[in-house]
Structure 1
Amino acid sequence: MTLESPARRTGQAVIADHLKRLDSSPGVYRMLDAQGAVLYVGKARNLKARVSAYARDYGHSPRIARMIRDTASMMFLTTRTETEALLLEQNLIKQLKPRYNVLLRDDKSFPNILVAKAHPFPQIKKHRGAKSEPGDYYGPFASAGAVNRTLTQLQRVFLLRSCTDATFAARTRPCLLHQIKRCSAPCVGRISEDDYADLVADAELFLKGRSTRIQAGLATEMAEAAEAMEYERAAALRDRIKALTAVQSVQAINPKGVAEADVIALAMEGGQACVQVFFIRGNQSWGNRDFYPRTGEGAGPPEVMEAFLAQFYDDKVPPRLILLSQSPDDPDLMAELLSQRAGRKVTLGVPQRGEKAELVENAHRNARESLARRMAESATQARLLDGLAEAFELPGPPRRIEVFDNSHIQGSHPVGGMIVAGPEGFIKSQYRKFNIKGTEIAPGDDFGMMREVLTRRFKRLMAEDPDREGGTWPDLLLIDGGAGQVSAVAGILADLGVEDIPVVGVAKGIDRDQGKEEFHRPGRRPFSLRMNDPVLYFVQRLRDEAHRWAIGTHRARRSKAIGASPLDEIAGVGAARKRALLSHFGSAKAVSRASVAELLAVEGISASMAKKVHDHFHEKG
């Protein structure tokens, strides 16, 4: 329900007016400014009591005082419980991104290890996303690098396969991983199904933190093999024990008394915050990740911690124990919310002594160091943006720079790339790739490609943020090119009705040497910066990052095209039927030559599907 405030009134008077119509129900309130933009979303066990605190004209922090002063209207939603109010509050914060709320800006998912159980010889692999594939999942891991290191360790110790089912089915001899003792080669019968199952069971024990038991069992097996004079088997077991010992010696923090926990530590300074999260699973450290939530114009540590916990676990299952450096505003309410999400009890703790306190202190030290580095980098970045504004005669330091580049090989598989940078450096979550779709663009037509990319980019901006209030419009466009490219880009933007965004082209100098770049702006003479100017190095980094992104996108598209098969074009032929056909015939070309009767011999191919596949190639021929 929305209650409008009297016109031209703001602050305590508006809030006091709303207070007359509130009761003591739990719920969520929104504070809006004169233009209707949401300033703040909050939850309350008792709406009337909570809002009455804002109606007072004393006892507020500078942040809350500013928020109250700007409030022109309020909105309220009642809930049955305070837990529901907390959940609704965090959903609205993520959706509306109010200025005065704490906001977690990194929403990337975390990878897991999957032991896929749909095959007689389970595959072990990295997995990210919905856990829909049959098998056992272990995680989360802090990064892809942490998963890859663990997978390499598991391969060395347990010799499990990492190849896909299709590759497994097509093998006729062991691959290189078997030669370097990282796979037991079940694909060619070098190990029985029962023995492989034992390896899988041991690997899962390791992932659950029971490596001592595994090592003892391997030592017993090695002794028995040596006594039976099975020296080759004993040597193989010895190598596995060595690999397991090496793994145990290089693992970072391996707490003996903490089997499963997330360790979360918060550091704050100068209105900025860093949160470090360490993942402990199976008494092993599975890596750490740092986050830099927006602090809502100066929220305190308890509010930052509460908002972080609610938003971080919005799409992740929390562990049974969460160790914190700082208690949230309402720890009991937060524990209740997280327990509901997990479907079991979740405990929050702020340890004061012992091993758990040491884990938290280690995370807190990392948070402080990461925040100090980020603040130093931000200060450097601010100076570079000031220098960029001065060099290019901009009205002020740009908060969002968009850099565009194209990539193709003789016109094939053309793509456009856009990278974004701002006061905090590269904003990789905002990078975009554009597959060039225009059929009228001639191969190698860079101007045509740039026209399509910019047209798509700015049409979307005009549709999604016409008032330019969302922070998604650039303050500066950088283009890899000279006067011709800049003139073309200026013309493209003018056609779209966008003529107030500065455009700068970065072109190699006469000798095409790095350091002798010339900068081009519409209607102005080109100029250069001195060789050792930090702004020049900054622009070079921006251009090189755009080039790297565009080339990587092009390579991915080209690889996908190379790996494409004519079978992909047949409706009804999915991954399973494609594998069956290729496994039976050996190649797509052989499939194209097969008769209907021969196609019928393939498992999973019905009479109607065999006819469809045959007709597809027959019509093409």
Structure 2
Amino acid sequence: MSSESPSIKTGYQVIQGYLRTIDSSPGVYRMLDSESRVLYVGKARNLKNRVSNYARPTGHSARIATMISHTASMMFLTTQTETEALLLEQNLIKQLKPKYNVLLRDDKSFPNILISKDHDYPRIDKHRGAKKKKGTYFGPFASAGAVNRTLNTLQRAFLLRTCSDSDYETRTRPCLQYQIKRCSAPCVGKIEVAEYKQLVRDAERFLTGKTTDMQAALAKQMTQASEDMEFERAAALRDRIKALTQVQTAQGINPQNTTEADVIALHRDGGQACVQVFFIRANQNWGNRDYYPRVSGDEDPAEVMQAFIGQFYADREPPRLLLLSHGVDDEDLVCELLADKAGRKVEIVVPQRGEKAELVSGAARNARESLGRKMSETATQARLLRGLKEAFDLPQVPQRVEVYDNSHIQGAFAVGAMIVAGPEGFDKNQYRKFNIRGEELTPGDDFGMMKEVLTRRFKRLLKEDPDRQLGTWPGLLLIDGGAGQVSAVREIMDELGVSDVPMVGVAKGVDRDHGKEEFYRTGKPVMALPRNDPVLYFIQRMRDEAHRFAIGTHRAKRSKAIGATPLDDVPGVGAARKRALLQHFGSAKAVGRAALADLKAVDGISDNMAETIYGYFNEKG
């Protein structure tokens, strides 16, 4: 069911008009402003009762009162159950990012450890993203660093390989990992399949917390090996026991009675919030991450916590237990939603004493300290943005600074790069790279490349946000270059009709020395900033970040091009067949010159595929 008021009025009287058209079903409602932008998404067990709360002229918090005053229309969608409404609400919040909802702004995926199951000698590796590969997954880990630490532990204790299957197949002697006792070298037959599989089982037991009798069993095996005078095997078992002992000593801070849980603590201060999440798996702390959800400051802690949990687990599998610093509204409903997602029971607890309370207390302390650091950094960033306004006489403090740079080698592999800085520092989700497409450009034409990049950038802005309402328009452009670049960019902006966007060219200045930068603006004299000015350091950091991003993008493009071969364009030739052909013939050029009979002789290349490859290169020739 969807409704919109024909009136352009706003406020509680508009909301009252909808009470006649909605019933008492569960569902989701959306509040929209006069330009049909979504202000708020909410769910209700009883839509009529919930909406009637907004139809009152008084008794609201400042946030809700402001939201009501801007509401010009509403939309409704009924559901069969309140659980469905809760799920739909969280999905819409993530999709629409309404102004007045608590919003989780960081939705990065978490890494896992994968033990593959498609090889006689399974490899252990870091994995991020969809779980499509065949194998057993362990996680989530809070960061790549947490995964790497655990992988190092597993390599020392269980000697599992981490090399790719292609590297494994081509080894003729043990690699460095074997020399430093971090791999059992199955690639060259240093260990039997059955023994290696036992190592894999032991590693899986370790990752699931079943380590009680592991060291005793290893000690028994070491004694037996010594008695059998298998001293090399005994020494290897001794090293594994030592590695496990070191791990268990380092894990003294880990919980003893909490096998699997996410510990979630909220701290609020000065209208801002930090949520700290610790991941406990197999009685081990697998790292933590902090989040700074967008809040207005007057929400109830239970509202913030429920919104966070709903959005956090929208695309993640919840653990069996959530330990929270604050309870949530509709706890039974949230548990039901999480249980449906996980396919098993999920429990929510706000512990008051014991080990679990200590875990929550530790997470809350981290949340408080993280928010303090964040607020300090934000205040510093705000001062720097104000400094930009004052230094360059801007009409207002820029909330979004875009910095552009190009990278190429004599015109080859040319890319443009844009980085973004704002009130919270560098916004890496907003970084963009541009593959230079202009075929008519002279190699190394920096002016031409900059023109292409900015033309593409602002044409897209004009198409996607012509009214400049989405916060994606820059308050300041920083261009790497002097008067020539600034003049060229100004010409581009004038052609596009966006000449009101402030722009500054940053040139290295005398001797291309840090600290002697010169700044160029249209119609104004060249200027410089004092060497010890924090705003100068800020500009240098932004320019260096743009240069780093541009160089990295350029190198990635160059590496991809260098690694490319004509085989990449042959229909049906994937990575495995490409590898087989290159190993057999030595080069792509030799493959192209090969006779049909030679192609058919390659392992993994069928007669039909050989004919396809032969035909492709003969047609090309």
Change (3 A) 1:246 1:478: same
- 2: CA distance between counterparts of 1:515 and 1:460? 35
Alpha-carbon offset, residue 253 of structure 1: 4.0
Change (3 A) 1:179 1:26: same
Name the residue aligned to 1:391.
391
User: Given the two structures, how large is their TM-score scaled by the length of structure 1?
Assistant: 0.97
Change (3 A) 1:200 1:108: same
- 2: CA distance between counterparts of 1:558 and 1:275? 40
Is 2:86 the counterpart of 1:115?
Answer: no
CA RMSD in angstroms comes to 1.6
Name the residue aligned to 1:473.
473
Alpha-carbon offset, residue 297 of structure 1: 5.9
- 2: CA distance between counterparts of 1:166 and 1:595? 26
Alpha-carbon offset, residue 6 of structure 1: 5.8
Name the residue aligned to 2:548.
548
Contact 2:504 2:520 survives alignment (8 Å): yes
- 2: CA distance between counterparts of 1:148 and 1:566? 36
Alpha-carbon offset, residue 589 of structure 1: 4.3
Alpha-carbon offset, residue 321 of structure 1: 0.8
Name the residue aligned to 2:616.
616
Name the residue aligned to 1:255.
255
Deviates more, 1:48-57 or 1:589-598: 589-598
Q: Write the deviation string for residues 345-383 of structure 1: whole angstroms up to 9, x where unpaired.
A: 111111111111111111111111000100011111111
Please give the residue correspondences for 1:480-519 in structure 2 after superposition, counting only pairs within 5 Å. Answer: 480-519=480-519
Name the residue aligned to 1:284.
284
Alpha-carbon offset, residue 448 of structure 1: 1.6
SS in 1 for 2:263: strand
Change (3 A) 1:531 1:619: same
Name the residue aligned to 2:167.
167
Q: Write the deviation string for residues 580-609 of structure 1: whole angstroms up to 9, x where unpaired.
A: 223434443443443222221223212121
- 2: CA distance between counterparts of 1:605 and 1:560? 25
Please give the residue correspondences for 1:92-131 in structure 2 after superposition, counting only pairs within 5 Å. Answer: 92-131=92-131
- 1: CA distance between counterparts of 2:25 and 2:250? 54
Is 2:46 the counterpart of 1:10?
Answer: no
Is 2:150 the counterpart of 1:150?
Answer: yes
Alpha-carbon offset, residue 173 of structure 1: 1.4
Contact 1:103 1:296 survives alignment (8 Å): no
Name the residue aligned to 1:83.
83
Q: Which amino acid aligns with 1:49?
A: N
Alpha-carbon offset, residue 502 of structure 1: 0.8
Q: Write the deviation string for residues 450-489 of structure 1: whole angstroms up to 9, x where unpaired.
A: 1121122112212222221111111111111111111111
Please give the residue correspondences for 1:170-249 in structure 2 after superposition, counting only pairs within 5 Å. Answer: 170-249=170-249
Contact 2:405 2:547 survives alignment (8 Å): yes
Please give the residue correspondences for 1:307-326 in structure 2 after superposition, counting only pairs within 5 Å. Answer: 307-326=307-326
Q: Write the deviation string for residues 357-416 of structure 1: whole angstroms up to 9, x where unpaired.
A: 111111111111000100011111111111111111111111111111111222221111
Q: Write the deviation string for residues 15-68 of structure 1: whole angstroms up to 9, x where unpaired.
A: 222123322111111112222222111111011111111222332111111112
Deviates more, 1:30-39 or 1:3-12: 3-12
Name the residue aligned to 1:61.
61
- 2: CA distance between counterparts of 1:271 and 1:288? 23
Contact 2:104 2:312 survives alignment (8 Å): yes
Q: Which amino acid aligns with 2:115?
A: V
Is 2:569 the counterpart of 1:577?
Answer: no
- 2: CA distance between counterparts of 1:274 and 1:253? 23
Change (3 A) 1:365 1:170: same
- 1: CA distance between counterparts of 2:586 and 2:164? 17
Alpha-carbon offset, residue 619 of structure 1: 4.7
Contact 2:270 2:297 survives alignment (8 Å): no
Alpha-carbon offset, residue 421 of structure 1: 0.7
Deviates more, 1:536-545 or 1:229-238: 229-238
- 2: CA distance between counterparts of 1:411 and 1:214? 60
- 1: CA distance between counterparts of 2:264 and 2:204? 26
Name the residue aligned to 2:535.
535
Is 2:451 the counterpart of 1:451?
Answer: yes
Name the residue aligned to 1:378.
378
Q: Write the deviation string for residues 543-567 of structure 1: whole angstroms up to 9, x where unpaired.
A: 1111111111112222222222332
Alpha-carbon offset, residue 298 of structure 1: 3.6
Change (3 A) 1:172 1:412: same
Name the residue aligned to 1:428.
428
Contact 1:169 1:583 survives alignment (8 Å): no
Contact 1:509 1:516 survives alignment (8 Å): yes
- 1: CA distance between counterparts of 2:410 and 2:251? 48
SS in 1 for 2:105: coil
Contact 2:404 2:418 survives alignment (8 Å): yes
Name the residue aligned to 1:334.
334
Name the residue aligned to 1:26.
26
Alpha-carbon offset, residue 97 of structure 1: 1.3
SS in 1 for 2:383: helix
- 1: CA distance between counterparts of 2:5 and 2:252? 57
Change (3 A) 1:82 1:399: same
Q: Which amino acid aligns with 2:428?
A: K
Deviates more, 1:543-552 or 1:433-442: 433-442
Alpha-carbon offset, residue 94 of structure 1: 1.5
- 2: CA distance between counterparts of 1:216 and 1:486? 72
Alpha-carbon offset, residue 107 of structure 1: 1.1
Q: Which amino acid aligns with 1:401?
A: V
SS in 2 for 1:3: coil
**Unpaired runs of 5+ in structure 2?**
none
Contact 1:140 1:279 survives alignment (8 Å): yes
Change (3 A) 1:384 1:54: same
Q: Write the deviation string for residues 60-112 of structure 1: whole angstroms up to 9, x where unpaired.
A: 11111111222222221111111111111112112221111111111111111
Deviates more, 1:5-14 or 1:466-475: 5-14
Alpha-carbon offset, residue 319 of structure 1: 0.8
Q: Write the deviation string for residues 397-440 of structure 1: whole angstroms up to 9, x where unpaired.
A: 11111111111222221111111110011111111111222222
Is 2:352 the counterpart of 1:352?
Answer: yes
SS in 1 for 2:504: strand
- 2: CA distance between counterparts of 1:150 and 1:255? 17
Contact 2:61 2:298 survives alignment (8 Å): no
User: Given the two structures, how large is their TM-score scaled by the length of structure 2?
Assistant: 0.97
Q: Write the deviation string for residues 475-523 of structure 1: whole angstroms up to 9, x where unpaired.
A: 1111111111111111122222221111111111112110111111122
Contact 1:414 1:435 survives alignment (8 Å): yes
Contact 1:252 1:285 survives alignment (8 Å): no
SS in 1 for 2:221: helix
- 2: CA distance between counterparts of 1:182 and 1:487? 58
- 2: CA distance between counterparts of 1:241 and 1:575? 40
Contact 2:114 2:124 survives alignment (8 Å): yes
Name the residue aligned to 1:606.
606
Change (3 A) 1:561 1:215: farther
